[in-house]
Amino acid sequence: MTNPEQPVIPEYSLDRDCTTLSRHALQQLHSFSAEAQDLSAILNRIALAAKLIARRLSRAGLMAGTLGFTGEMNVQGENVKKMDVYANDVFISVFKQSGLVCRLASEEMEKPFYIPENCPIGRYTLLYDPIDGSSNVDINLNVGSIFSIRQQEGNDLDGEAKDLLQNGRKQIAAGYVLYGPSTELVYSLGKGVHSFILDPSLGEFILSQENIRIPEHGPIYSTNEGNFWQWDEALRDFTRYVHRHEGYTSRYSGALVGDIHRILMQGGVFLYPGTMKKPEGKLRLLYETAPLAFLMEQAGGCATIGKKDLLDVVPDKLHARTPLIIGSKEDVRLVQSFIEKRESTN
Ligand code: P6P
């Protein structure tokens, strides 16, 4: 016989199952204002996009026309995967008729995409990498989506979206979705970093961790050492150091979101440095390195392009690239110490 005073389901577990992303966003903002409602609704749409992408990824090997390349080249000069195109279109579709987002800027599109019916009202811009690490899609390894939300400034009458060419501290929210054994959405509104796990039985992202803090130091360094001979000498010095000292281990998946998530949870440093041929590096600022830097700073870590904070970098174009050194403060500082040492001897 159950005791009527004691709820059958412990209060905390029911409340936790009801802590969806949209509710959590409103809690974060301590407000039900129009702006808070908008941000909550935007995150809810991003969650819908993530669910649609996760669903397709989970059956990609069984669905004709899902894997492989389209035969096209994108603005990055990269061969486009069919999954890149699908995911890009999903983000556009979930924001149509939303009145929320006027412009979408994506790794896959040369220019921002405008949703006219939203534009007079929607003052937000979504910047995103729809599928990051798409080389992993065909081999069933983890991939991710990265997103950043900015307020539109001015009326963008020429359609060039020049107001996006500002530093990463103008972001009002950022996050990523990790499509792994479970689908995990990690986000920040500038009030800490929080993660949600997709519960397929509910079709909802449910709060799993609040106020995630990156360890001050961790054992992992994550980088593509195949580029070792193309790096500046200082980065080679750092690599030689971790090779020769106990307590370091290398992990690299070739998909940025998974590598960054590992660093966030276990500590350490991820590096994608510039090379002699490409001093600006490979990763894109507005929808890859800046949102991740925003999250990492919110989690107590840091992100730099070498000596300058990444969030202070002002892009000169929509698809600007930056080097990326990101993770635990102690480990990022260790990398920087080799850069400073080299500069002092040059
Ligand atoms: P490399 C994927 O193409 C990506 O943009 C990131 O997800 C990843 O961190 C990086 O490139 C991998 O690049 O040169 O090591 O293959």
> Going residue by residue through the chain (346 aa), what tens digit of pLDDT does each one get?
556 666 565 556 788 878 899 999 999 998 888 899 999 999 999 999 999 999 999 998 888 888 888 888 888 888 888 999 999 999 999 999 899 999 999 999 999 999 999 887 888 999 999 999 988 989 999 999 999 999 999 889 888 999 999 999 999 999 999 999 999 999 999 999 999 999 999 999 999 999 999 999 999 999 999 999 999 999 999 999 999 999 999 999 999 999 999 999 999 999 999 998 899 999 999 999 999 999 999 999 999 999 999 999 999 999 999 999 999 999 999 999 999 999 998 8
Instruction: Say whether both 199 and 239 belong to one domain.
Output: no
Which of 209, 230, 256 delimits the end of a domain? 209
- In this structure, the residue with its CA closest to atom 1 of ligand 1 is 254
Instruction: Say whether both 143 and 227 belong to one domain.
Output: no
In a domain, 3, yes or no: no
Instruction: Say whether both 306 and 336 belong to one domain.
Output: yes
Q: Residue 259: what pLDDT?
A: 98
- Among all chains, which residue has been given the structure tokens 């996760």? 54
Q: How far is the CA of 340 from the centre of ligand 1 (A)?
A: 27
133 lines ligand 1 (CB under 6 A): yes
Q: How far is the CA of 256 from the centre of ligand 1 (A)?
A: 6
Residue 103 phi/psi, 5° resolution? -125, 145
Q: What angle do CA 222, 180, 258 make, to 5 degrees?
A: 20
In a domain, 215, yes or no: no
Distance CA(10)–CA(205), nearest Å, equals 20
Distance CA(272)–CA(230), nearest Å, equals 12
- Among all chains, which residue has been given the structure tokens 């994608």? 272
- In this structure, the residue with its CA closest to atom 16 of ligand 1 is 254
Cα distances from 230 to residues 85, 132, 240, 243, 279, in angstroms, run 32, 23, 15, 18, 10
- Within the chain, residue ranges assigned H as helices are 11-17, 21-29, 34-58, 82-95, 233-244, 256-266, 290-298, 329-345
Range of the domain at 270: 220-345
- In this structure, the residue with its CA closest to atom 13 of ligand 1 is 254
Q: What angle do CA 136, 64, 110 make, to 5 degrees?
A: 55
Distance CA(202)–CA(293), nearest Å, equals 31
Instruction: Say whether both 46 and 181 belong to one domain.
Output: yes
Which of 161, 188, 209 delimits the end of a domain? 209
Residue to substitute in 224, 261, 280 for testing ligand 1 pocket (most ligand atoms within 8 angstroms of CB)? 224
Q: How far is the CA of 18 from the centre of ligand 1 (A)?
A: 36
224 lines ligand 1 (CB under 6 A): yes
Q: Residue 182: what pLDDT?
A: 97
Sign of CA dihedral 246, 340, 276, 222: positive
Q: Residue 75: what pLDDT?
A: 83
Q: Residue 14: what pLDDT?
A: 82
Distance CA(49)–CA(332), nearest Å, equals 33
Q: Residue 208: what pLDDT?
A: 94
In a domain, 313, yes or no: yes
In a domain, 337, yes or no: yes
Q: Residue 331: what pLDDT?
A: 98
Instruction: Say whether both 226 and 204 belong to one domain.
Output: no
- Count of structural domains within the chain: 2
Instruction: Say whether both 144 and 170 belong to one domain.
Output: yes
225 lines ligand 1 (CB under 6 A): no
Q: Which of 27, 3, 2 is nearest to 15 (CA)?
A: 27
Instruction: Say whether both 100 and 224 belong to one domain.
Output: no
Which of 209, 243, 260 delimits the end of a domain? 209
Residue to substitute in 69, 256, 269 for testing ligand 1 pocket (most ligand atoms within 8 angstroms of CB)? 256
Distance CA(292)–CA(256), nearest Å, equals 10
In a domain, 334, yes or no: yes
Instruction: Say whether both 159 and 249 belong to one domain.
Output: no
Longest dimension (CA), the chain: 80
Q: How far is the CA of 226 from the centre of ligand 1 (A)?
A: 12
Instruction: Say whether both 108 and 233 belong to one domain.
Output: no
Q: Which of 261, 330, 271 is nearest to 306 (CA)?
A: 271
CATH (domain of 160): 3.30.540.10
Instruction: Say whether both 184 and 230 belong to one domain.
Output: no
CA atoms within 13 A on the CB side of 193: 23
In a domain, 6, yes or no: no
Q: How far is the CA of 206 from the centre of ligand 1 (A)?
A: 29
Q: Residue 277: what pLDDT?
A: 87
Q: What angle do CA 184, 91, 145 make, to 5 degrees?
A: 35
Q: Which residues lie closer than 8 Å to 226 by C-beta, 6 or more apart?
A: none
pTM across the whole model: 0.94
CATH (domain of 278): 3.40.190.80
In a domain, 247, yes or no: yes
255 lines ligand 1 (CB under 6 A): yes
Instruction: Say whether both 69 and 148 belong to one domain.
Output: yes
Instruction: Say whether both 61 and 134 belong to one domain.
Output: yes
Which ligand 1 atom lies nearest to the CA of residue 272? 9
Residue to substitute in 282, 285, 287, 326 for testing ligand 1 pocket (most ligand atoms within 8 angstroms of CB)? 282
In a domain, 323, yes or no: yes
254 lines ligand 1 (CB under 6 A): yes
Q: How far is the CA of 167 from the centre of ligand 1 (A)?
A: 23
Q: Residue 65: what pLDDT?
A: 84
